[in-house]
Every structure is written in structure tokens, then in C-alpha cells.
Structure 1
Amino acid sequence: MASKKTPARQAQAGATLSEYAGVRYLHLGTEWVQGAMRVRKPQHIELEYVQRMMAWMLWRPTAELTQGQAVQLGLGAGAITRFSHQVLKMRTTAVELNATVIDACKLWFHLPDDDARLTVLHADAARWVADPAHLGTVQVLNVDLYDHEAAAPVLDDEAFYACCRGVLADGGLMTVNLFGRDASFERSAARIAAAFGLDQVWHLAPTKEGNTIVVAARGVVVPDRDTLIARAEYIRERFGLPAPKWLRLVRPLRLPA
């Protein structure tokens, strides 16, 4: 997670944790939850909105679900990174500005050490996606960047989303968590659509907590309904994720006239 101010200039809040009913929660100096892990099931994705950030799987052929590179911008409690690395077995990169979050994930949230398929970077997400070395190298990009008070997305302009599209390979997919007391879904979604094209952007209905997940693609052809239903069932059976529910909740993005 990061801050609403320029990342390089901002003092980072220290990571802390709480635990209740077998679930460990990550905080950044406030009561706002920045991530969670069920202690006895560390590879399970605990929070519903984080599960929905895996909805990119519906747009990807089942034979390709475990192929390529997955990148997470904003480590949180490491749920997506652990799932991509340990369950999907993808080449996985996480980019996190706050060093205490990385330390907390290693100490408390079962984040493994870097290996041939895992790289955790203490770095600025905006700079990472703007680096020409990363153009066209990513199949899956998960964006969950919030300040310690969860007020609004940290990086939320058209230039940032254009860079996100740039790092995606053809057929690549991005999911973004849009949530925040000061955030505007319509404003953020319009910026994503400007970068990706309106016909390449979808969203899920909000969770009860108010998180709305947007899916944006680079050159994806949407399959027919029967194919999507079959994919959703495969994801549920193979990976234990509630993909059939996602399919009922997803809609093409429509912007106000």
C-alpha cells in the first residue's frame, strides 16, 4: 500500500497486526484493514474483495491460467502474491513502497523468500510500470494501492493507467480495487476506460464493504456465455474460488453520457 502524496516524498506508516477468530489482519497505524490471512490456511484468499481481484481468470483460457507473469502493485498482506506464486505457480512479482509491509509479510503473513519464480521489490509502483524494460512483459496485473487511511486510490490518473496497459502483453489483464471514502468510482473508471478503451473494461458489483473491482484488458476477445460458465466452474473446482458468483456480478462498464 502507499500514500496519496508523491510516494518518494512521503513518510510511510509502520505496519502492525491484529488477530481475531483465526484471521490475522494487517494495519498501517489505523483501524483500517490493509490485508488479511486465515492463519491455518495461508494460501486461501480470505477477504472477498481480494478474491474478486482474481476475476481476471474468467477472461483467460483455462490452459493459460498458470502461464506468464503476475504482478501485484501494493503488497498488502500478500494474499494475491502467495496465491499467484504458490497455487497458480506463476512467475510472480510484488511491488511495495513501504518496507515495513514487506517485513510484516515475511514475519507474520507467510510470504516466502524470493526464488526463481518470486520477486518482491521495495519500489514505487508508478516508476515500475513506467519503466520501458517492463513493456509488454506482464500477463496479469493486480492494482491495490491505498494510503494508510484507505481514503482514496494513490495512483489514479490516466497516465498511470496508460502505463499499466503498456506493461501488459497482448491478451493481458488488469484488476483494480476501487474503494475509498474520498474516491469516485465513475471518475476512476473513466480514466481506466480512456487508457484501455471502453470495450475492454468491465466491473463487478460492489462488495458489502464498498470495494468495486474493475477488470481491464489489452486486446481480449470476450468468449461466449457457455465458455465463461465452463471457465467459472473450472476455477471453482480447481482453485476453490467463487468464480460462478463473479460471473453473475460482472458487467461491461457503462459511463454516464
Structure 2
Amino acid sequence: MFEAQPWQADEPTLSELGGVRYLHFGTEWVQGAMRVGKPNELVLAYTQQMMAWLLFLEPSKQDEIGIMGLGAGSLLRFTLKNTQASVETVEWNPQVTAICRAYFRLPDNRRSVIDHCDAAIWVKKRHNIGRFMALMVDLYDAQAQGPVRDSLEFYQGCYGALGDVGIMTVNLFGDHTSFPPNIDNIRKAFAGRVLELPEIDAGNRIVLAFKGPLLNISTQQLLDRAAAVETRYGLPGGRWARALLAQHGAASKVAI
């Protein structure tokens, strides 16, 4: 008897409006977007925030970055265009990869590898342990009712896949029943070393989780780095930095 794969209910579909092409999984929920005239630009605000780890780490060509959930390939295109790091993406639905190659200018780049695999299995593969300086986790299905991988064991696997110093960013829905258990599991997996960015777009809330030596960054150091991120990457680093500083009240440092 034929056994359906989990991804076969998530048939990728397209829409286009105002020069922006959108990826869907057969519903109105947007799974990714690309500005046709500027394919390497991050169109959606939440995808920009997924790069907020750049406030704390600067990738080199020796570094490796992991992406969980290909979507429309936005994070992959941006990372390959703007850094020299190697990137491995895990995507369990090969149809998503195919439609990205056909309609979303998926890069054919020697620094890019796509593994069609369950993310929960992928993080525990031997060659991924201690490998990545940054993990960007965006795992949603057609219904978009919270991440499809969200257990404590999964986030512990993410922790293990980061190098001695690393940061994970995760796309969550702030005003949703999935948020409390996810943030709780992330905090447990990362010993409470978690920062949250303000809710944006259609309820997206990006969480940053840290591994490595404790950070004690002055306000000025963070603002200087934010300015460098704006100049180097064209991302709203200053807005992110001010949001993170607001969480620390009048403190002169961000300790995480």
C-alpha cells in the first residue's frame, strides 16, 4: 500500500502582486516571498529579523550556516549573496526545492547544499554536531499553526548542532497557543539565554538563543555593531538593537 509522505499535503503554489512573487502551500498563508526585480532582497520583515544574529557574530568564509525550512529561498539567497560562509539548508519537501529552482531563482552555488530530510533528524546527524555558527529555523506547514518541530528534544538538537559559539534564530507566532511551549522549550535547551524581538508582520516573533561564553555587551558596542550591520548588509540593525536594549530597561549593558 502506498504511504503518503508528510509533505504531500503541502503542494506549493504561487501568487504575484506588485512585483513580489509569493510561495504558498495551497492556502492563503505566505511561506516566502521574492521581489522579482531584486531577488536577493529580504522582502518580509520577519525574514530580515531572522538575520538578527549578525548583531553578535560576523561570518567568515570558514564558517557554516544552517537554514531549516527553505521557503521561497529568501534566507539562502541573501546569505550566499552577502556572506562568504557555506550554507546547508534542510527542507523535507522536494517539491518546494523544485518550485524554488523554477520560480524563485534558487542559487546553484558550490557553497550551498540542500538536504531533503526531517529537521529533527537533520540536527542529530553526526556531521552536523557542533558545526554551525548560526541556525535559522522557520518550520511551518500549510496550516501555519505553529512550528512543525517544536519539542524540547528538537531544540536541544539545535543547541548541539551549533558550534562552541553560535546563535539560533526561530520564527514563532507571538499571539498563538504555540508560543508559550516553544519559548519554554527554547529556554530550557539554551539555559535561559534567549532574547526576543518585537512582534511584526502577521504575528511573527523572532527569538534569538545563544550558545558559548556569556556576553556582556555595552549599549554603545551594540549600537556600533548595529550601525555596521546597516552599512554592510542593508538591514535595520539599529531598530533591532533599540528593541533589545528596551528589554533591559536603563541598564548600560546587555548580558546574555
In structure 2, the residue matched to 1:57 is 54
Cα gap change, 1:208 to 1:122, in 2 (>3 Å): closer
Identity of aligned residues (%): 42
Query: 1:47–1:10: structure 2 CA closer, same or farther, 3 Å change rule?
Result: closer
Q: CA deviation at 1:46?
A: 0.4
Partner of 1:4: none
Alpha-carbon separation, structure 2, partners of 1:236 and 1:66: 20
| 1:230 has 2:224 as partner | yes
Q: 2:200 aligns with which of 207, 228, 242?
A: 207
Q: 2:109 aligned with 1:94, yes or no?
A: no
Note if contact 1:135-1:167 (Cα within 8 Å) is conserved in structure 2.
yes
Q: Which residue of 1 aligns with 2:251?
A: none
Structure 1 residues 150 and 53: alpha-carbon distance in aligned structure 2, compared to 1, 3 A threshold: same
After superposition, the Cα gap between the structure-2 partners of 1:37 and 1:161, relative to the gap in structure 1 and judged at 3 Å, is: same
Q: Distance in 2 between matches of 1:186 and 1:180?
A: 9
Identify if the C-alpha distance between structure 1 residues 10 and 208 changes in structure 2 by more than 3 Å, giving closer, same or farther: closer
TM-score normalised over the length of structure 1: 0.89
Encode CA deviations 1:170-198: one digit per residue, 9 max, x unaligned.
Answer: 11110000028753322211100100011
Cα deviation 1:76-109 (Å, max 9, x = unaligned): 0111111111221210111101111101111111
> Are the structure 2 counterparts of residues 215 and 84 from structure 1 closer, same or farther at C-alpha, using a change threshold of 3 Å?
same
Q: Are 1:12 and 1:98, in contact at CA under 8 Å, matched by a contact in 2?
A: no
Amino acid corresponding to residue 34 of structure 2 in structure 1: M
| CA distance, structure 2, for counterparts of residue 15 and residue 9 of structure 1 | 13
Give me the whole-angstrom Cα distance separating, in 2, the residues matched to 1:91 and 1:222: 28
1:175 corresponds to which letter in structure 2?
T
Alignment partner of 2:211 out of 202, 218, 230: 218
Greater shift, 219-228 or 135-144, is seen at 219-228
1:17 to 6, 14, 18: 14
Question: Following the alignment from structure 1 to structure 2, what is the Cα–Cα distance between the partners of residues 101 and 206?
Answer: 27
Q: 1:68, 1:90 within 8 Å by CA — same for their partners in 2?
A: yes
> How does 1:68-107 map onto structure 2 within 5 Å?
68-107=63-102
What is the number of residues matched between the two proteins?
Answer: 242
C-alpha distance in 1 between matches for 2:72 and 2:181: 27
Give the C-alpha shift of residue 10 in structure 1. Answer: 5.2
Between 1 and 2, higher relative CO (CA 8 Å, sep ≥ 6) is seen in 1
2:100 counterpart letter in structure 1: C
Give how far 1:224 is off: 1.6
**Match runs of 1:1-257 below 5 Å:** 9=6, 11-60=8-57, 62=58, 64=59, 67-113=62-108, 115-179=109-173, 182-198=176-192, 200-220=193-213, 221-250=215-244, 251=247
Amino acid at match of 1:56: W
SS state at 1:215 partner = strand
Q: Secondary structure at the match of 1:11?
A: helix
- What CA RMSD, in Å, does the superposition of the two structures yield over aligned residues? 1.8
Q: Separation in 1 of the partners of 2:130 and 2:9? A: 30
Partners of 1:122 and 1:205 in 2: CA distance: 32
